[in-house]
């Protein structure tokens, strides 16, 4: 299978940037007074190339898979939670199910490599949908082998891209589920950003201090075992997960189509980190929903130059933070599209001699 590596041109356009900024500055408010909402509106206007951007048919995809490394005791929960939570997503009872429903987000679950066979079920319009993107029944234990081979990595990326192609709309919200996947995210970050793994390893689903210390020791041994893996896709295959590889493909595809990509927490951001090493311009299409309570996320966001919308100590994953932040994107669009300008409303502007530099 060939590698999925589309060209992603930069959408940076100084003239367009200035035009959108001028529109925002003409709204009836003191200059800059809507703070980060203004920066968000600016970003959405640039991604969707519209002075009045509209978010259409938003699609939340929860990418799910299992991790061989989980057998090394790096998670507080058993591997079976992955498939059990997939069932919960589909039944409508998980956090992301509730928040997606509340916010009018279509919900999809992509089985990229859950260890159990999940029965296919009929598609019911308006209900969460299960997609079979399974590459294998979980990755191999990456403390003693590559998590996946290059062909599996390519397949997972293609699956993610193909799924995005099949979805309507102009906004993709990224979610994930996979017991053990905070370990993969920490490993990708440690290797790709050359930081000490102890600095970027946290409790995940809730390890205690002794558990975190054991997790760090395991992750150190994994990094030593894969010392030769340095290129982004080598690192992804060596220590990633099928859901992460599928998200890399999904991000590249969504970026190529110029969709708005709403990034959730630590693991989805790890996928964006890998994608951005392959095609840096994907970052121009991303909105980072929140700063996760997982300590490595702050370092990862910094490495990407990302400014997250929320800082709520969320550490659930699933796409829950992306769904929570969604109304902020809607507000940003409403602000740009519906707020009056000083001229249209007949409101007096700031006096020239009082303008700050």
Ligand X SMILES: O=C(O)c1ccc[n+]([C@@H]2O[C@H](COP(=O)([O-])O)[C@@H](O)[C@H]2O)c1
Ligand Y SMILES: Cc1cc2nc[nH]c2cc1C
- Residue ranges that bind ligand X, judged by CB under 6 A: 75-77, 176-183, 204-205, 264-267, 292, 294, 297, 315-318
| Shorter beta-carbon distance to ligand X: residue 53 or 296 | 296
268 neighbors 175 (Cβ within 8 angstroms): yes
| Phi and psi at residue 65, to the nearest 5° | -165, 165
φ, ψ dihedrals at 140, nearest 5°: -80, 160
Give me the phi and psi of 308, to 5 degrees please.
-70, 150
Q: Could you say whether residue 87 binds ligand Y (CB under 6 A)?
A: no
Can residue 145 be called a binding residue for ligand Y (CB under 6 A)?
A: no
182 binds, among ligand Y, ligand X, none (CB under 5 to 8 A by kind): ligand X
Find out whether 255 and 282 touch, Cβ atoms under 8 Å.
Answer: yes
Among 87, 257, 318, 353, which one carries the catalytic annotation? 318
Decide whether 291 or 315 has the Cβ nearer to ligand Y: 315
**What is the nearest approach in angstroms of ligand X to the Cβ of residue 178?**
5
Q: How far is CA 213 from the centre of its chain?
A: 27
**Residue 227 near residue 253, CB atoms below 8 Å:** no
Select the span of 32-40, 233-241, 243-251, 310-318 touching ligand Y (CB under 6 A).
310-318
Shortest distance (Å) from residue 258 CB to ligand X: 25
Q: Is 211 in the site for ligand Y (CB under 6 A)?
A: no
Has 51 been annotated as catalytic?
no
85 scored as a contact of ligand Y (CB under 6 A): yes
Residues numbered 317-346 forming contacts with ligand Y, rule: CB under 6 A? 317-318
Using Cβ positions, the residue closest to ligand Y within the complex turns out to be 77
* 177 interacts with ligand Y by CB under 6 A: yes
Q: Decide which of ligand X, ligand Y, none touches 294; Cβ closer than 5 to 8 Å per partner kind.
A: ligand X
Which of ligand Y, ligand X, none interacts with 183 (beta carbon under 5 to 8 A by kind)? Answer: ligand X
Is the CA virtual torsion 340, 346, 352, 354 positive or negative? negative
Q: Contact with ligand Y (CB under 6 A): which of 23, 118, 316, 334?
A: 316
Q: HEC states along 184-209?
A: HHHHHHHHHCCCCHHHHCCCCCCCCH
- For residue 239, CA distances in Å to 196, 204, 233 come to 16, 17, 10
Sign of CA dihedral 43, 269, 317, 115: positive
Round to the nearest angstrom and report the end-to-end CA distance of the chain.
56
Three-state DSSP class for 182?
helix
Tell me the site size for ligand Y, rule CB under 6 A: 8
Counting contacts by CB under 6 A, is residue 205 touching ligand Y?
Answer: yes
Pairing of strands 129-132, 260-263: unpaired
Q: Identify which range of 102-110, 126-134, 148-156, 313-321 contacts ligand Y by CB under 6 A.
A: 313-321
Structural tokens at position 294 = 């997982």
- 16 contributes a contact to ligand Y by CB under 6 A: no
* Phi, psi dihedrals of residue 271, rounded to the nearest 5°: -65, -40
Among 77, 225, 312, 342, contact with ligand Y (rule: CB under 6 A): 77
**What is the arrangement of strands in the sheet containing 129-132, beginning at the earlier edge strand?**
129-132, 106-113, 59-65, 171-177, 260-263, 286-288
Q: Which is nearer to ligand Y, 85 or 100 (CB)?
A: 85
**Cα–Cα distance for residue pair 309/325, rounded to 1 Å:** 7
Q: Which stretch binds ligand Y (CB under 6 A): 99-107, 111-119, 316-324, 334-342?
A: 316-324
State yes or no: residue 81 binds ligand Y (CB under 6 A). yes
CB of 11 or CB of 76, closer to ligand X = 76
Q: Which stretch binds ligand Y (CB under 6 A): 77-85, 121-129, 241-249, 291-299?
A: 77-85
CB of 315 to ligand Y, least distance (A): 9
Q: 181 touches which of ligand X, ligand Y, none (CB within 5 to 8 A by kind)? A: ligand X
- Burial group, residue 328, by CB count within 10 angstroms (0-12, 13-18, 19+): middle
Residues that bind ligand Y (CB under 6 A): 77, 81, 85, 177, 205, 316-318
- Report the catalytic residues: 318
């Amino acid at each position: 299978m060939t590698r999925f590596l589309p060209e992603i041109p930069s959408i940076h356009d100084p003239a367009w940037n200035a035009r959108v900024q001028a529109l925002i500055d003409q709204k009836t408010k003191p200059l800059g007074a809507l703070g980060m909402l203004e920066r968000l509106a600016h970003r959405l206007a640039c991604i969707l190339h519209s002075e009045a951007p509209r978010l259409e048919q938003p699609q939340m995809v929860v990418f799910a898979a299992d991790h061989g490394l989980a057998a090394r005791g790096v998670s507080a929960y058993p591997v079976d939670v992955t498939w059990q939570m997939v069932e919960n997503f589909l039944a409508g009872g998980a956090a992301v199910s509730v928040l997606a429903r509340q916010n009018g987000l279509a919900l999809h679950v992509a089985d990229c490599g859950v260890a159990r066979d999940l029965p296919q079920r009929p598609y019911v319009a308006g209900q969460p949908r299960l997609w079979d993107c399974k590459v294998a029944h979980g990755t191999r234990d990456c403390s003693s082998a590559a998590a996946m081979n290059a062909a599996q990595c390519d397949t997972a990326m293609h699956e993610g891209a193909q799924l995005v192609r099949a979805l309507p709309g102009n906004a993709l919200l990224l979610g994930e589920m996979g017991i053990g996947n905070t370990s993969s995210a920490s490993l990708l970050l440690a290797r790709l950003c050359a930081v000490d793994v102890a600095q970027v390893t946290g409790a995940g689903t809730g390890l205690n201090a002794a558990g975190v210390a054991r997790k760090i020791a395991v992750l150190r041994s994994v990094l030593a075992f894969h010392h030769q893996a340095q290129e982004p896709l080598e690192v992804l295959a060596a220590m990633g997960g099928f859901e992460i590889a599928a998200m890399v493909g999904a991000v590249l595809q969504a970026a190529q189509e110029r969709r708005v990509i709403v990034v959730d927490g630590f693991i989805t951001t790890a996928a964006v980190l890998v994608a951005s090493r392959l095609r840096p311009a994907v970052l121009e299409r991303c909105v980072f929903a929140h700063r996760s309570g997982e300590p490595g996320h702050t370092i990862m966001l910094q490495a990407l130059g990302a400014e997250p919308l929320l800082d709520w100590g969320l550490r659930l994953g699933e796409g829950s933070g992306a769904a929570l932040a969604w109304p902020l994107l809607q507000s940003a669009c409403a602000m740009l599209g519906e707020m009056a300008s000083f001229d249209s409303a007949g409101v007096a502007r700031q006096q020239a001699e009082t303008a700050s530099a």
